[in-house]
Amino acid sequence: MDSKKLACVLAISGMMVGCGGETPSENTFTFPARDENCAAGAAPPCMTDTPANTDAARTIELPEGFADRTLTYVIGTVALPEATPDPDGDGPQRSQAAGFNVDGLDSGNGSTDIEANCEEFNQDFISVTDSSHVGVDNALQGLVGTIEGLLDAADCPGMMTAGCLDATLQRQILEGSLILMVEVSGVNDFMYDSNVMVQMHLGEVPGGGMPTEGSGGGLAGGQTFTSTMTLGAPVQGDIFAGRLRVATPSLPLSIMAGDFNLTLMITQAQVRFNITETAMTNGSIGGVVTVDAIVEAASAIMPGIEDTVRTVVESVADVTPSSADPAVCDAVSLGLTFSGVDATF
């Protein structure tokens, strides 16, 4: 089916028919709506329950592709970027951030209503990697400076606390202490594939040691690693317009700098990246971490600081309003960006 014919496929009475009245092939598939907006005319805060793209725009005649393939990648760069203004934003200025809409709400720049709960009160963003994805929740980016202020400059790459988290994560990757691998099976096409399976792994260099650094500052492609732990069960995803999209129950995030060892479990996680045979690019990870988990991790680093940490974290927590006080949320959203290269087990 050529692009013009594909563009005019319409959904009528539950059956897909083309502009010329013909029934499309059995290989026509309507991809799920993974980007949603508020209803037309609704002002934030509002529920995001309307697909950003129509059924017709998400209906594709799948390519014949190739026989099932399994590909493995290793994450070579990762960052916790802070929100930035959207240079192409229309109307009231909206900022861009890494991550995803995890609460089904777009609060815009944040509600000023005195009755607003914590999800409505906190600002939401436009995705920095997926322009159709709005209501992005990423409160942790507002705590990056606070966390870095707790670090000892002597433990930071370059002896500077500003930017220490990103630099530390990158150092962990290059030293081999943070090897996160992505295994994608059932791949038939790199542009459109309705069903792929994704398994995450923690890994290491066989026999220990450091991986090989690539020319761009990440890891070199084609290296072999050993899987030390599978992260949950395989989960189903898809590839739409060259972008792999998957939701997974949980992912670990570990940041180690000297005596600072912050290990958190990201839940309600979503992962997306542009996929090719040899690389993952424009990657984004998003999800939430409970306030209790952050307080517990902070306590392990600095006993006695629990009350202070809880006060600070609850001031920005933006997901899951507390039953005791809806103005206070029980979880904090976060977003990371990443890229990766091909690897083998």
Which of these, 280, 282, 275, 68, lies nearest to 191 by C-alpha position?
Answer: 275
pLDDT value at position 142?
A: 85
Q: Which pLDDT tens digit goes with each residue over 83-94?
A: 888 766 555 568
What lies within 8 Å, CB to CB, of 288 at 6+ separation is 102, 137, 266, 267, 268, 319, 320, 331, 332, 333, 334
Q: How many residues does the chain have?
A: 345
Supply 310's token pair: 């809880």
In the predicted model, what is the mean pLDDT of residues 141-152?
82
H helical segments located in the chain: 3-7, 118-121, 144-149, 164-175, 291-301, 306-314
Q: Which pLDDT tens digit goes with each residue over 55-106?
A: 999 999 999 999 999 999 999 999 999 888 876 655 556 899 999 999 999 9
One DSSP character per residue, 88-122 reads T--SS--EEESSB--SSEE-TT----TT--HHHHS
pLDDT value at position 259?
A: 57
What number of CA atoms fall less than 13 Å from residue 247's CA on the CB side? 11
Q: What is the pTM of this model?
A: 0.88
CA distances from 201 to 169, 181, 182, 231, 295 (A): 17, 5, 6, 5, 26
In the predicted model, what is the mean pLDDT of residues 181-195?
98
pLDDT value at position 17?
A: 38
Query: What is the rounded CA–CA span in Å between residue 130 and residue 100?
Result: 9
- Contact (CB, 8 A) for 146 and 294: no
pLDDT value at position 54?
A: 96
Q: Which pLDDT tens digit goes with each residue over 246-295?
A: 998 888 776 655 555 667 789 999 999 999 999 999 999 999 999 999 88
